[in-house]
Amino acid sequence: MYDTLLFLHLLGAFVTFITVVVFPAYAVGIAPSKGSFALGDWAWNVSGVLLLVFGVWLALYVDGYELWDGWILGAIVLLGIATAFGARARDEVLAQLGEGGEPTAAMVNTWHWLRTASVVAILVLMVWKPGA
């Protein structure tokens, strides 16, 4: 049971990095397409579900972990912050796709790298588990 939960949680983390890799392409001048945007958007939504559902399940299942442990709460808060940053990057790309306007690569870049920094910070918490 533990192995399956860990695998599905870990799979969610890997799927997150599809979004992390898709978005920087827009920042280096590659025009967003509906397909690539859908891939990045889909990956973020699926990974969010996998991370939260199986992460919380793991915290409840494993003796010695509690949902209110600092590193687990910190990761959940950071996931919320990453989602907020990602929503801003998403809005920038959607504006380009919908209106056909000039690319705002700098804004996509800024919001996306803030999201990426939050995701990497979650990984740091998951590996070092401060306070566990």
Contact residues: another protein, CB under 8 A: 3-4, 6-7, 10-11, 13-14, 16-22, 25, 30-31, 33, 35-36, 39, 43, 64, 120, 123-124, 127-129, 132
The CB-of-67 to another protein minimum distance in angstroms stands at: 16
Hey, what amino acid is at 123?
A: L
Alpha-carbon Rg for the chain in angstroms? 16
Token readout for 23 is 């978005």
**Nearer Cβ to another protein (3/99):** 3
Q: Which two tokens stand for residue 66?
A: 């509690």
Question: How is residue 90 written in tokens?
Answer: 């998403």
The distance of closest approach from Cβ of residue 104 to another protein in the complex, given in angstroms and rounded to an integer, is: 19
Q: Is 131 helix (H, G, I), strand (E, B) or coil?
A: coil
Structure tokens at 106: 């700098």
Pick between residue 20 and residue 93 the one whose CB is nearest to another protein.
20
Q: Which is nearer to another protein, 4 or 45 (CB)?
A: 4
Cα distance between residue 16 and residue 42, in whole Å: 10
Residue 21 CB, nearest approach to another protein (Å): 4
